[in-house]
A and B are shown apart, each in its own frame.
Chain A
């Protein structure tokens, strides 16, 4: 195998496949990237068994072939070489020695026979959907923070995608807060009906920065996202997602409208004075004033900020875990517009608080469970 490739192309390609390389694996072969050359197409494949990423790039091919390259080691070298010039990689199929010729030097590393790489089975029978780039990125960005990191409820460790012909809803929750993002189906390409899938958070994380529209295939066990030359395949979480619709309140009777940036800044400053274990912050609302308050009995510190708001009731007080609250408010809008408002609705101090963008649009919705202080 022998090929020549421009450094920036190679660097970029490796950055995209590296996330599938396990940091420490009990199967050393997985720390390698499967590299195969056919003509002028070089295909990288990396897997940690749960997630598989493959990416094809154009190179100048000389001799076809395939090899397993120690991924991190190779990536470290390519990173250090900067962005100018080409590298030529050639592999001796007798001993799998990889020779790398760079603009200013030559390096050798030991590769492995591709037969040692786990077999990646062909993708089975599947249901397909096409999702525009921005919609996919929005769903990934606005949900993944709320996913549970605890293994106790496996269904909550992923993002739930629920398709109807006209829209897809993505939901994430850890039991204390919930994020729901809905996007409409493209006009000419309706979604499949009744398709539901829970995608592990790690895979969703990789979908936040994608460079193209997504062709999604979902089988009983796996989901595959094809974005141009990149294919991300992941195991799906085969569990029943909790009945999230039931917990979204419909009868919250008190409404607060407040500038997003103001309230976030207030929370950030005040929370510096909150107890680091309990992370409590308290909202106290009157008709046109919201006071954000925190105090820590252990250290004796406390802080209060008061900002202007519109509140539909007379007096109301409610407590939160500031981290949940901040993340929810931060993620409720897509643009960073300084004049943007958020709308929060309440019923009692122990019922779910609903957070939506100031303008009525139900495409984005956050739920935060309060803390009774």
Chain B
């Protein structure tokens, strides 16, 4: 008994099942495809319920425009889509889904039920389908919008089902996707349930607030708004300050024309803007979206549609890097000491403590008090005349604070607070400075200047010290010798691993050479390997950390003053190289509140 005809045309159903694998890899893909459909349908509220990590049930409810009965019938047919009809359209993709594959693919591997009604239609329709079977249509009563039930995913393809990970992992994937969708669409309310437990319910909100809701970070203290427009790429979003950084990349989200994307290159561009602000192993949090002419990107690279190709990868990289760097630089909220440059560049100062929606500003040149409402209504600041009665008490406090010290040009009074802190005043309030961290920041910037080419001065020492290092540290020292020399060390590493020191940077205390060198190396070691381009930062940071004031070390009044002055002359003054805050401000308004 022989049958030589081994090759057969696959049945359409089988072909669909195979192709479906490309789109529907795991429950998360179903959620993503279906929610994107809902978004494309103009939904304002999307509710997602998953059971057993979506293996048992994925239920999506939206209030979008719904489908007519004809559309419904076609919806589970492969390449049926309402979104493109010609090749030209393919290049103008601004909707999220476009291949017309999603529903068909899902229907090939799971039981699907769709209930939908369009606005104005008297009845809704339901469609029930089983893999390989003929879909059934019947009229039902339902709300405007669509509901999808995807049950028993992959039950007809046991091999694929076997490849699914534990419920926990699969649920994590779904959850990440839901976060991504929520972040990408702040104008849609998302409600997300795991069984009967609510995971999140985020109302429509500005992006900053949405980020705060989804990633649970403090939007006003821990994030900075990014915006930029370069090489035709519009960039907007929010990045976290170093204090909000995480041990993993879990807080990183990129969007392109509203679609969530994965781009190692762009993620790197953002991370590189943080430069030395983050420790090794720390990853910034960001939600950045790019808007670009759809012709200039190819999103059809991967069926998952989250990898993209730019016509000019480099331009995109630079544009993102610039925008983020700029935002971070501006975020170093330097307290404005009157008379200094920031006054000229920031004539309008928001008075803290006012409600954000009715923020109060003071024009620091004219003394005018303005509310943002007034600004918006009147268009310009000068239109609004300040009348006594309108001076909110809040504003009065701020203005008093401003002008009570009008001839101060720099932090004039500096006071020791305990052993660790220094207090001074600025136009905004009381500035509390962490002594050691401030010192670390100053030393770091000084060290960076030196390793950056402006070599430090070597103080020659009378008794050159000789000591030995462990072989691995000796090798490390050789590797970083150039940076050590730039700081002002004069070091010889001998073949037997001993080290001779003949000169030290001027602020190194005699007798401490060995300890300092060893500790810097230790710190470098702890940081793990880094690209050689970062070695300067590394040595500078280790040096700063080692040389900064010890806890309890006392310094003179003058040293406190120059510490304060130098801190605010730093290019980044608000955090240490490790990302710890160096100072904070207690606004006058808060003080006033406490006395009421």
Contact = CB atoms under 8 A, between A and B. Distances in A.
Interface of A: 148, 150, 152-153, 156, 173-178, 242-244, 247, 276-280, 319, 321, 350-352, 367, 369-373
B510 A150 contact: yes
18 contacts: A148-B511, A150-B511, A152-B515, A153-B510, A153-B511, A156-B511, A174-B510, A175-B462, A175-B511, A244-B462, A277-B446, A278-B457, A352-B462, A369-B459, A369-B460, A370-B460, A371-B459, A372-B458
Interface string B27-42: 0000000000000000
Given A177-B462, A242-B463, 14 more contacts: A148-B510, A148-B511, A152-B511, A156-B511, A173-B463, A176-B462, A176-B510, A247-B462, A321-B459, A350-B460, A350-B502, A369-B462, A371-B459, A372-B457
B562 A276 contact: yes
Contacts of A277: 446, 506-507
Contacts of A150: 509-512
A193 B510 CA distance: 32
Nearest to B460: A369
Given A276-B562, A372-B503, A351 B510 contact: no
A176 B504 CA distance: 10
B457 to A, nearest CB: 5
A91 to B, nearest CB: 39
Nearest to B459: A371
B461 interface: yes
Given A152-B511, A279-B506, A350-B503, A319 B461 contact: no
A293 B509 CA distance: 25
Contacts of B515: 152
Interface residues of B, number: 19
For the complex of A and B, the 4 pairs showing the least CB-CB separation, nearest first, are A175-B510, A152-B511, A153-B511, A369-B460
Interface string B501-525: 0110011011110010000000000
Most B CB contacts (10 A, CB to CB) among A150, A276, A278 go to A278
B460 A351 contact: yes
Contacts of B458: 350, 371-372
Interface of B: 446, 457-463, 490, 502-503, 506-507, 509-512, 515, 562
Contacts of A372: 457-458, 460, 503
A156 to B, nearest CB: 7
A244 B462 CA distance: 9
A212 B458 CA distance: 44
Given A156-B511, A175-B511, A278 B463 contact: no
A247 B502 CA distance: 12
Contacts of B446: 277
A100 B460 CA distance: 58
B447 to A, nearest CB: 12
Contacts of A369: 459-462
A373 B457 contact: yes
A221 B510 CA distance: 26
Contacts of B460: 350-352, 369-372
A351 B584 CA distance: 46
B457 A367 contact: no
Nearest to A350: B460
Nearest to B463: A242
Contacts of A371: 457-460, 506
A247 B463 CA distance: 7
A148 B463 CA distance: 13
B228 to A, nearest CB: 32
Contacts of A178: 462
A270 B507 CA distance: 21
Contacts of B511: 148, 150, 152-153, 156, 175
Contacts of B503: 350, 372
A319 to B, nearest CB: 7
A93 B177 CA distance: 88
A175 B463 contact: yes
B509 A173 contact: no
A152 B510 CA distance: 8
Contacts of B507: 277
B561 to A, nearest CB: 11
Nearest to A369: B460
A321 B510 CA distance: 14
Contacts of A350: 458, 460, 490, 502-503
Contacts of A319: 457
A53 B509 CA distance: 32
Nearest to A177: B462
A175 B461 CA distance: 6
A178 B446 CA distance: 29
A260 B209 CA distance: 71
A22 B64 CA distance: 83
Contacts of A152: 509-512, 515
A93 B509 CA distance: 52
A321 B459 CA distance: 8
Nearest to B562: A276
Contacts of A247: 462-463
Nearest to B446: A277
Contacts of B502: 350
Nearest to B559: A276
Nearest to B566: A298
B312 to A, nearest CB: 40
Contacts of B463: 173, 175, 242-243, 247
Contacts of A280: 457, 506
Nearest to A279: B506
Contacts of B509: 150, 152
Contacts of A177: 462
A250 to B, nearest CB: 15
A352 B503 CA distance: 12
Contacts of B512: 150, 152
B457 A176 contact: no
A159 to B, nearest CB: 16
A152 B460 CA distance: 18
A276 B512 CA distance: 22
A172 to B, nearest CB: 12
A176 B515 CA distance: 18
Most B CB contacts (10 A, CB to CB) among A175, A177, A350, A371 go to A175
A83 to B, nearest CB: 35
B115 to A, nearest CB: 72
Given A152-B512, A156-B511, A321 B461 contact: no
A32 B515 CA distance: 40
Nearest to A174: B510
B167 to A, nearest CB: 59
A367 B506 CA distance: 17
A156 B363 CA distance: 59
Nearest to A243: B463
A150 to B, nearest CB: 5
Given A150-B509, A150-B510, A156-B511, A176 B459 contact: yes
Most A CB contacts (10 A, CB to CB) among B457, B462, B507 go to B462
B461 to A, nearest CB: 5
Contacts of A174: 510
Nearest to A352: B462
Nearest to B443: A277
A156 B506 contact: no
A370 B562 CA distance: 26
Nearest to A297: B454
Nearest to A370: B460
A275 to B, nearest CB: 10
A173 B506 CA distance: 16
Nearest to B488: A372
B510 A156 contact: yes
A322 B503 CA distance: 17
A242 B457 CA distance: 25
A369 B506 CA distance: 12
Contacts of A367: 462
Contacts of B462: 173, 175-178, 242, 244, 247, 352, 367, 369
Nearest to B558: A276
B223 to A, nearest CB: 33
